[in-house]
Amino acid sequence: MRLRIIHQTRYTYKKEVEFGDHRLVLRPREGHDVRVEAMDVKIEPAAQLTWSRDVFGNSVATVEFEEPAKELLIESNVLIVRMAPVARRKAPLTSITPWPPVYDPRERVFVRAYQKLSYPKDAAAVKTWLENFRIKKPDYAEDVVRNLNEYIYDELRYIRREEKGVLTPAQTLELGGGSCRDLATLLLEAARVLGIAARFASGYLECQAAEMGEASTHAWAEIYHPGRGWEGYDPSIGEETTSRHVVTGVSNHPRGVMPVSGSFYGKASAFKSMSIAVTVRPEE
């Protein structure tokens, strides 16, 4: 099945400004389940685009602008092929992660980076919040993560925020909710407080709003289960991820996979507006 993803980001300014380099994490990660069949990136004003891979294996584009402008447009048009639906099969007992999780000695150095807290100052607030999180006789790490994901969905509300950046876990808890990125960050940090290896994932979600061109980017968390690999959990909908989730970037910190990041030279008051429009639709 083919999926067309159009992601447009537009910035406007009160007067012409010069732009610093921008970093784009917009290309879907390819693998056994997803292949990028075609991709076009349109940028205005004129710019040079250079592709590379970061330490997490993400495809990252660096944009170097050639001229100033009052408007900046970045539009990514991607056609992907989903090789097969994500199969949800009952895993054999040998591949189920015991609780507390035990990681292979050969992977512990790698895993440790994903167990380290991104917001250590918020650890106390997260631990206090987790005191009300209970699961009866947790035998497997998968059960704990699944219930934790549902707990966030049940206890906190989804808030569509237009502001830049990600709320810290403590800020999300104090607010009583947050955007998909905020909730994913809370799940990421809560899992790590419990000793579970987790990473942040950014990308797109195929849904009704996206098909109508009224969506934005999406975010969730991925958990590393020994013997099974990385599996996604989306606290915004309280479910595990499926083939509807298209990953563009993964990182041990939410800031590592911002879809579009960069700067301009001049006074902050020169900035006028920003708009994002994402369309995700099936294509024959």
Quick: pLDDT tens for 161-212. Answer: 877 789 999 999 999 999 999 999 999 999 999 999 999 999 999 998 877 7
Q: How many CB atoms lie within 10 A of CB 153?
A: 19
Specify the CATH number of the domain 93-257.
Answer: 3.10.620.30
More confident: 84 or 226:
226
So what's the architecture of 2-84+259-283 in CATH?
Sandwich (2.60)
Q: What is the pLDDT of residue 86?
A: 53
Boundaries of every domain in the chain: 2-84+259-283, 93-257
Average pLDDT rounded to a whole number, residues 9-35: 96
> pLDDT tens-digit profile of 146-157?
999 999 999 999
Mind listing the pLDDT tens digit for each residue in 104-154?
999 999 999 999 999 999 999 999 999 988 765 567 889 899 999 999 999
Predicted pLDDT of residue 139: 77
> How confident is the model over 78-99, as a mean pLDDT?
70
pLDDT given at position 215: 82
pLDDT at position 93 over 80 = no
pLDDT recorded at residue 96: 72
Q: What is the pTM of this model?
A: 0.93
Residues 223-277: tens digit of each pLDDT? 999 888 999 999 999 999 999 999 999 999 999 999 999 999 989 999 999 999 9
User: Is residue 57's pLDDT more than 50?
Assistant: yes
Percent of the chain with pLDDT over 90: 80
Q: Mean pLDDT throughout 218-224?
A: 97
The per-residue pLDDT for 100 is: 84
Mean pLDDT (the chain, rounded): 92
